[in-house]
Amino acid sequence: MSKILITGGAGYIGSHAVRLFIDKGFDVVVIDSLISSKEGAVDRLKGFGDFTFYKVDLRDKEALNEVFEKEKGIDAIMHFAGLISVSESTKDPALYFENNVFGSFNLLCAARDFNVKNFIFSSTCAVYGESQYLPVDEKHPLLPTNPYGETKLMIERLIKWFAPTYGINFVIFRYFNVCGNSEDGEIGYDKKPSEHLVPNAMKGALDIDEFKLTYAKVDTEDGSPIRDYLDVLDLVDAHYKAYEYLMDGKTSEIINLGTGKGFSVEEIIKSIEKMVGIEIPRDMGETRAGEYAAIYANYDKAKKLLDWQPQKTLEESIKNSKVWFENNPQGY
């Protein structure tokens, strides 16, 4: 049985990955500090099969090494853990550099010290910054406009320096916006406070929480930012394909994950209104800092190297979001 270590496995994306790898028969080891995720997610995941959970902060090198001492024979590390709020990173950059960069450095040192040769990292399209052309491919200039994106770029560079020296093979995924939830409403999004449009607008439509717009007007057709919305189930499927890719001994790569389509904030809200059958108020809240006008992916490289492409439509993602929040209005 193959053993995989998943960091951030109680988080939104990580929990979907844990479930997928349990379903595929892996020996799954999960590390999560539960700083920005929920213990309820761990409890929910136990209903899908056995896995080993460690409440460990990656900044605690001693505790992290104890996990690796106990869990011999890890085939691959899947690194989802990290803080992800753009606006929070602009208000407290020190927190993001300490948590994201230092924690990832410790994890890479553990991979080196315990001879784990395969590493899959969750990066972000925020490393690109403002789009100089669309769709954005992996050759686009790297000019992050916020500390969150800068921390992810620093981790990418750490990985690229570690890899040849210590024999680590890697896939770095640059995510575009992620949305959706499990189809059965059992695993889903539970971040409070949340900056993410689809869950926030859905909670507003279902009268769970008040919804407010948080963008500054930008130079797009309707004045609202345009983003690429990828379903979380398609995302974790790409991670499974990346695991197979690395286990086949193929070359380390940096790969975009997106749909190749951009939707504005207004278009997303209108899609949710149509799905729920209610008009969502457009009241303005606190404007988010560090944002830009438009970005969406060229995912040709993922298609070529991993035989991957998105399967879920935006409507399916919104439907699964509705199911999740109807079943779990207060999250886990």
DSSP-derived secondary structure for 99-166 = IIIIHHHHHHHHHHHTT--EEEEEEEGGGT-S-SSSSB-TTS----SSHHHHHHHHHHHHHHHHHHHH
| Average pLDDT score over residue span 129-157 | 97
Q: Tell whether 86 and 35 lie within a shared domain.
A: yes
| Whether this model's pTM surpasses 0.75 | yes
- Shared domain for 143 and 39, answered yes or no, is yes
- Whether the per-residue pLDDT at 304 is higher than 90: the answer is yes
Q: Is the dihedral of CA 238, 240, 241, 243 positive or negative?
A: positive
Split at pLDDT 50, 70, 90, the class of 292 is confident
Measured in whole angstroms, the distance separating CA 294 from the mean position of its chain's CA atoms is 19
Query: Residue 237: in which H helix or E strand, if any?
Result: helix 232-247
Q: Is residue 332 part of a domain?
A: no
Residue 112: predicted pLDDT: 98
Which tens digit of pLDDT belongs to each residue from 266-275?
999 999 999 9
pLDDT at 82 (0 to 100): 96
Same structural domain for residues 250 and 264?
Answer: no
Q: In the chain, count H helices and then E strands.
A: 12, 11
Give residue 120's domain range.
Answer: 3-179+229-257
Task: Please report which confidence band the pLDDT of residue 192 belongs to, taking 50, 70 and 90 as the band edges.
Answer: confident
* 267 and 307 fall within a common domain: yes
pLDDT on residue 193? 77
Does residue 54 carry a pLDDT above 80? Answer: yes
Can you give the pLDDT at residue 191?
87
Lowest-pLDDT range of 170-174, 194-198, 233-237: 194-198
CA angle 192, 193, 198 (to 5 degrees): 90
- Looking up residue 282, the CATH number of its domain turns out to be 3.90.25.10
Q: Which long-range contacts (CB under 8 A, 24 or more apart) does 100-105 make?
A: 100/148, 100/151, 100/152, 100/155, 101/151, 101/154, 101/155, 101/158, 102/58, 102/59, 103/57, 103/58, 103/59, 104/58, 104/79, 104/155, 104/158, 105/158
| Number of separate domains in the chain | 2
Q: Is the pLDDT of residue 42 over 80?
A: yes
- Residue-level pLDDT at 87: 87
Say whether both 221 and 245 belong to one domain: no
**Residue among 96, 148, 189, 215 flagged as catalytic:** 148
- Assess if residue 103 is contained within a domain: yes
Q: How does pLDDT run across 155-178, given as a tens digit for each residue?
A: 999 999 999 999 999 999 999 999
Please say if the pLDDT value at position 134 is more than 80.
yes
Q: For this structure, is 96 an active site residue?
A: no
Residue 281 burial (C-beta neighbours within 10 Å; 0-12, 13-18, 19+): exposed
CATH number of the domain within which 32 lies = 3.40.50.720
pLDDT of the residue at 287: 85
Q: pLDDT tens digits for 66-117?
A: 999 999 999 999 999 999 998 899 999 999 999 999 999 999 999 999 999 9
